[in-house]
Structure 1
Amino acid sequence: MDAHKRRSAGGTASRGEAAERVVRKRPRNRRAQIAAASAEAFGQLGYHGVSMEDIASRLDISSTALYRHYPSKYALFREEALRLSALCEEAVTLPPALRAAPARTRLEHVVDALIDRAVANRRGAALLRWQSRYLEPEDYRAMMRKLADGQNVLCELLAEDRPEVDERDRVVLAASALSAIGSISDHQVSIPVRALTGLLRVSAHGVLDSTLPPPGSAPAPAPAAEVPSTFKHELLLKKSVELFHQRGYPNVSVEDIAHAAGLPASSAVYRFYRSKGDILAAAFRRAADRVSAAIGPAIASTGGPREALTQLVELYVDGSFAERELTFVYYAEISNVPREDRTVLRNIQRLNVEEWAKLLNGTRPELSAAEARVLVHAALSQVVDLGQWLGPDNPLCDKARVIHLMHAILFGRAGA
């Protein structure tokens, strides 16, 4: 009996040990899990704001286990950036069965493929949009080649489908469609995948099918006013944003800001701001307040939601063109704002988008509240994306053209 108990106990222990070994077995898709978690972390917190320990904690593994798969944070960042850019190249590769199909059919297939990949990688795609500047030069060029190849295919299909459109305009329309699709990585609007996919499809084709106004039809933006050197508070803000735009927030020191503003030492900066993060927060708060301040007067001075939203679009484009660097930095560096300030800024941004969405719902009652917010984000992204991709002073994406594309997204093809 004792021997039987011992055998039973031994059998139980063996089964327990086997069960423990199964639990601890490394998942077969561990590398894919790491890629997804790291892309989301880099997109949310920025490349410099994430450590290997942060990524490991998201996966509930040790950093030692993470290093078995990747030798460094940069190796992980690089692989995920190149993987995401390859998805664009993959999406525009037509299957053999469609290569002889009409141009419109092929264009629709490519747009659908781009949307499917954007939706599937929504949480991590912000890495590609805002953090890719931190890739090494050779890796950055490889990434850009993949993205450029994808845009070129879109332009070629558009040329077949709409041969009357000027070649330069096709570049703008393709960039606008890609911006609308990619904008979903910049917000967390909760919406069913099917509704989101349909909305992005309509928006992308809305801009691809639109006819742009002639370049130069908008008055040239007034040159930015020079800040007098005696206004140190304003000068610090202006010079800081310029540096953040050129180098990236983590690569700018307080000493750099002091030198650019003509201050004798970094200690002089602290007479105006407590830290570099406070400078960034102050610039962002000003930009957010500018958008907020325009909403009430626009509603009060116009005859309805369509007119009010049209006026807000024009004011937003005017303000963004006057501060192009700040518009880009706002999207790219908000993760570097101190947490408490970031919460305030996110709330202001959310309320601004909701006010725009209410006006859009008043114009297009067939949209749900979530759908209206998605379209507002897609329209807002046009300003920063077209300026960043095609050049801030490129006449092909002047104010009148950007406004036209925002209307095409917000109000639909007929509205533009």
Structure 2
Amino acid sequence: MDAPKRRARPATQADDAAPQRVVRRRPRDRRAQIAAASAEAFGAQGYHGVSMEDIASRLDISSTALYRHYPSKYALFREEALRLSAASEDSVRLPDHLADAPPAPRLEHTLDAVIATSIANRRSAALLRWQSRYLQPEDYRTLIDQLVRAYRVLNALLAEVRPDLDGADRAVLSTATLSAIGSIADHHVAMPVRTLATLLRSACLAVLHSDLPEVGAPPETPAAVEIPLTFKHELLLERAIELFHERGYPNVSVEDIAAAAGLPASSAVYRFYRSKGHLLAAAFRRAADRVSAAIGPAIGAAAGPEQALNTLIELYVRGSFGERELTFVYYAEISNVPPEDRTVLRNIQRLNVEEWAKLVVGVRPELSAAEARVLVHAALALVVDIGRWLGAESPICSQPRVIRLMQVILFGRETTV
């Protein structure tokens, strides 16, 4: 006799709730995911502020799994930094069909390609802008060589389009253009890719076709103001910023700062500041408050938004030229400020940018608030980029020239107000 057939048991809710064994498969692009996550982390928190465990947690994997792909944090850092610089160089290579095109279309194609590459790598590009100095010397030279080759292509195309320019003016305009594009790594203003690309293209073309003030005699270097030894808190701020600019924040100890300020021991620093990070925050807060304090009087005394914005540009350039090291350190080391202070500083910066952006929209009502904020960030970044790439004391980077370039970016044209 055949065995009786077992009647199928109807499915129940309990069966649906039974745990299923989940098989986790390793993504085929795991290495690319690791590189992208690490670059974003390095850009946001600084190379020294990120551990392999931090990167692993972003990807929800173990640090052991991470080490299967990369032997060290530096290997990750190096690979992504050089990938970004290589992408910059690749972006300026003209396709064959444009080899014999007139200069203007070749320049515009190159500009579009650089912008597209920068937008595609926006979330990780802060690594390239502010953290690349922590590469080992040989790797840093490779990175700089790639960036310089990209710059030279743009500079050469500009020479063809505008043969009236001399070498100094071409250098300034090319550097300002690349600064405007790269500035999108410094903020998180959100907008559609096509809108952002169009906005950057318009700003860059305005820069490339602008005329700069004549190069005058090198400005006289103002005599250094000696801080009285009794003002130890001021002396500590100044010496600390000098050291952070020269060596990088992670490579400066409290003992180094104490010695530079003439204090007998590091313990003396703690009478004025709770930590090295709080000292950095105090310097940044002072600079942020200076920018904030200028806004109200400039608007109140102006006949309109263009005049107010011109006043703010001049005040900002003057203040930044007087504190060049602090301006650079702010961009490069903001991630090292204690979180609670960093939140305050970011809020002050956001409010300052919003006030500037309102004035920009007052002059250019066709722009959205977001577009105006992007342009404000580009104009502010220009001040530090021009000096650090072309030489802070070079006469071709004078205040009148930087002011003119900020005006062109914000107004979309030159202004005489």
What do the CA deviations read for 1:273-299 (whole angstroms, capped 9, x no partner)? 111011000000000000000001101
Instruction: Tell me the C-alpha RMSD between the 2 structures.
Output: 1.9
Q: How does 1:258-337 map to 2 (within 5 A)?
A: 258-337=258-337
The corresponding residue for 1:152 is 152
Deviation, 1:171, is: 0.9
- Secondary structure of 1:48's match? helix
Q: How does 1:396-407 map to 2 (within 5 A)?
A: 396-407=396-407
Q: 1:375 to 1:303 in 2, by over 3 A?
A: same
Q: 1:224 to 1:190 in 2, by over 3 A?
A: farther
Structure with the larger helix share: 1
Structure 1 unpaired stretches of 5+: 6-15
What do the CA deviations read for 1:17-43 (whole angstroms, capped 9, x no partner)? 99844xx22111111111111111000
- Secondary structure of 2:413's match? helix
What do the CA deviations read for 1:356-407 (whole angstroms, capped 9, x no partner)? 0001111111100000000000000111101111111111111000001001
Q: How does 1:49-64 map to 2 (within 5 A)?
A: 49-64=49-64
State how far apart, in whole Å, the 2-side matches of 1:399 and 1:54 are.
Answer: 42
Q: 1:58 to 1:123 in 2, by over 3 A?
A: same
| Superposition TM-score, scaled by structure 1 size | 0.94
Q: How many percent of aligned residue pairs carry the same amino acid?
A: 70
The corresponding residue for 1:341 is 341
State how far apart, in whole Å, the 2-side matches of 1:313 and 1:2 are.
Answer: 92
Deviation, 1:222, is: 3.2
State how far apart, in whole Å, the 2-side matches of 1:362 and 1:222 are.
Answer: 36
State how far apart, in whole Å, the 1-side matches of 2:223 and 2:111 are.
Answer: 38
State how far apart, in whole Å, the 2-side matches of 1:415 and 1:35 are.
Answer: 44
Deviation, 1:214, is: 0.8
State how far apart, in whole Å, the 2-side matches of 1:86 and 1:162 are.
Answer: 27
Q: 1:223 to 1:84 in 2, by over 3 A?
A: farther
Q: How does 1:119-134 map to 2 (within 5 A)?
A: 119-134=119-134
1:102 matched to 2:102: yes
- Secondary structure of 1:264's match? coil
The corresponding residue for 2:212 is 212
Deviation, 1:141, is: 0.2
State how far apart, in whole Å, the 1-side matches of 2:50 and 2:408 are.
Answer: 37
State how far apart, in whole Å, the 2-side matches of 1:344 and 1:308 are.
Answer: 26
The corresponding residue for 2:185 is 185
The corresponding residue for 1:395 is 395
Deviates more, 1:208-217 or 1:141-150: 208-217
State how far apart, in whole Å, the 2-side matches of 1:71 and 1:233 are.
Answer: 43
State how far apart, in whole Å, the 1-side matches of 2:409 and 2:122 are.
Answer: 20
The corresponding residue for 2:226 is 226
State how far apart, in whole Å, the 1-side matches of 2:125 and 2:221 are.
Answer: 32
Q: 1:203 to 1:76 in 2, by over 3 A?
A: same
Aligned AA (2:56) = A
Q: 1:261 to 1:372 in 2, by over 3 A?
A: same
Structure 2 unpaired stretches of 5+: 8-17
| Superposition TM-score, scaled by structure 2 size | 0.94
State how far apart, in whole Å, the 1-side matches of 2:370 and 2:222 are.
Answer: 36
Aligned AA (1:332) = A
- Secondary structure of 2:47's match? coil
Deviates more, 1:159-168 or 1:210-219: 210-219
Paired residues, number: 405
State how far apart, in whole Å, the 1-side matches of 2:253 and 2:84 are.
Answer: 31
State how far apart, in whole Å, the 1-side matches of 2:345 and 2:319 are.
Answer: 18
